[in-house]
Structure 1
Amino acid sequence: MTVIDFTAFIGRLATASGETILPYFRTSLSIDNKNARDFDPVTEADRGAEAVMRRLIKQNFPQHGIVGEEFGTEREDAEYVWVLDPIDGTKSFISGFPTWGTLIALLHKGTPVYGMMHQPYIGERFSGDNGSARYQGANNTGRKLAVRRCESLAKAALFTTSPLLMNETDRATFKGVEQHVRLTRYGGDCYSYCMLAAGHLDLVIETELKPYDIAALIPIVTGAGGIVTTWDGKPAQNGGKIIAAGDPRVHEAAMKLLNG
């Protein structure tokens, strides 16, 4: 069984999760906080979307493992493992901004082999399998994704969700990169990686990511010709400190500053 066999099923997961989430968006929904030390919101939309995806996976592939943000892990050592983030960007979601998405990754023997970011409100899907990446918009418009060339940090556009999510040391290190780029913008969550894959920005630097925050985005970025690693150049699927770049020259220059 190859990853191609799962493409239609991943589309079903995206559709089902989107149908669960959309009735909650831009409504007066109840918000819980998962973190006593900070504000880490979760809603019934998050829980409901992950629940419906888990149910479909178990019905169709009971031998597969699942890692999800809201309901933990099952059979994490299985040959195939699904990694789910029902709403990446919940803070944007509860604020009414559309810069959030559902992340669906399929791992084979621990390696992300397919990923999708679905934004049901806008009607966008970004998907990739490491070898190629595609965009599908409303009315079934679609195209291949490709990163853009960027010869230096001085010409690069850099995104991070927020420097406030970094500890003091990492924030200072990030600022060291930030002062060398042409443009920095904050916000975006998963959308930043998809815009990098689409060729609209050049660099994303984050910290404290969980596997479900990044696993689906790796095949999209690499499928579009980009690079995703940890700050020390290792595979990124386990999360942590992450750097994604469209051009290897920008990746190398940023890595030197992050580790300098």
Structure 2
Amino acid sequence: MTADFEPDLTLALRLADAADAITLGRFRAADLKVTRKPDRTPVTDADTAAEDALREILAVERPDDAVLGEERGGVAAAGRCWVLDPIDGTKNFSRGMPVWASLIALTVDGTPVVGVVSAPALDRRWWAAAGTGAWTADVGGAVRRIAVSGVSDLGDAYLSTTDMTIFGDRLGAYLSLAEACWETRAFGDFWQYCLVAEGAVDVAVDGAANPWDLAAVVTLVHEAGGRLTDLTGADTWAGGDGLATNGLLHDTALAHVGR
């Protein structure tokens, strides 16, 4: 299995390079074009340009693979499918905050097997392929293998979410989890899942999440020794929400915030 996905991981890293060249070039640009989707979430010219560039590369390199992207659509088809979020954290990107990333995943028959998260404004990148472990390039480019924490008690756990208001009428469930944990923050979006994978955060939860928000971080969290499910506890990245933990805390956290 390891050998099967190494070429795909190499390609995913190339795709991340291509995305970085576009997104970083438009970050904090005076002429950045920002519009709103029907759900009032922002989209910039960098989002669409990056996704278009990745699709062009995939059309040449993997012409038989399906593609699902946040901006141009598609279907998470059976077989091989690339799942793209050209800029995760577009609100941050559009406001000049550096916490945003391009997310690139490959799924096979619905199971993520390759994931790359590239956050060039943070000078960070994370990646994993099934059977190869989880890795990061730190500030300055030093590469190291990462693993989840060994925290086994929620009372000692670091919790993060993206926006607690997204929980809506289930906000009480999130607050129950927060009160049970040692400390809470809102690192949000891709970053909190990467921090779970590298052991800096123990629990990350989102009351709402799209498939392209989670596909790339599934392999990363799994290869680092953790677990990612939806809030019913199902092993899916397309359930509409997400919970990632170091594994040791998963069932206990789910007992608070699960649906």
TM-score by length of 2: 0.93
Amino acid at match of 1:251: H
Deviations 1:124-156, CA, capped at 9 Å, x for gaps: 210112431001135431000111111211111
Match of 2:255 in 1: 256
Say which of 30, 35, 53 aligns to 1:32: 35
Distance in 1 between residues matched to 2:61 and 2:182, nearest whole Å: 48
Alpha-carbon offset, residue 84 of structure 1: 0.2
Q: How does 1:188-199 map to 2 (within 5 A)?
A: 188-199=188-199
Retained in 2: the 8 A contact 1:64–1:78? no
Match of 2:167 in 1: 166
Say which of 8, 20, 23 aligns to 1:21: 23
Secondary structure of 1:179's counterpart equals helix
Any stretches of 5+ residues in structure 2 without a counterpart? none
Greater shift, 120-129 or 131-140, is seen at: 131-140
Secondary structure of 2:97's counterpart equals coil
Alpha-carbon offset, residue 123 of structure 1: 2.6
Alpha-carbon offset, residue 258 of structure 1: 2.2
Tell me which stretches of 4 or more aligned residues in structure 1 moved more than 6 Å.
none
Any stretches of 5+ residues in structure 1 without a counterpart? none
Retained in 1: the 8 A contact 2:6–2:129? no
Amino acid at match of 1:82: W
Q: Percent identity?
A: 32
Distance in 1 between residues matched to 2:187 and 2:7, nearest whole Å: 34
Q: How does 1:93-104 map to 2 (within 5 A)?
A: 93-104=93-104
Deviations 1:13-56, CA, capped at 9 Å, x for gaps: 001111011121112322111135xx300000100000000000
Distance in 1 between residues matched to 2:47 and 2:119, nearest whole Å: 13
Match of 1:246 in 2: 246
Alpha-carbon offset, residue 157 of structure 1: 0.7
Distance in 1 between residues matched to 2:84 and 2:11, nearest whole Å: 14
Match of 1:223 in 2: 223
Secondary structure of 1:200's counterpart equals coil
Distance in 1 between residues matched to 2:73 and 2:258, nearest whole Å: 33
Match of 1:3 in 2: 5
Secondary structure of 1:11's counterpart equals helix
Amino acid at match of 1:255: L
Match of 2:110 in 1: 110
Retained in 1: the 8 A contact 2:210–2:241? no
- Say if 1:130 and 1:252 are closer, same or farther in 2 by CA, change over 3 A: farther
Retained in 1: the 8 A contact 2:9–2:128? no
Greater shift, 127-136 or 204-213, is seen at: 127-136
Greater shift, 232-241 or 171-180, is seen at: 232-241
Alpha-carbon offset, residue 91 of structure 1: 0.9
Give the RMSD, CA atoms, in angstroms: 1.6
Distance in 2 between residues matched to 1:187 and 1:162, nearest whole Å: 9
Amino acid at match of 1:21: T
TM-score by length of 1: 0.93
Q: How many correspondences in the alignment?
A: 255
Alpha-carbon offset, residue 89 of structure 1: 0.6
Match of 1:41 in 2: 42
Match of 1:210 in 2: 210
Greater shift, 234-243 or 82-91, is seen at: 234-243
Match of 2:62 in 1: 61
Distance in 2 between residues matched to 1:115 and 1:155, nearest whole Å: 29
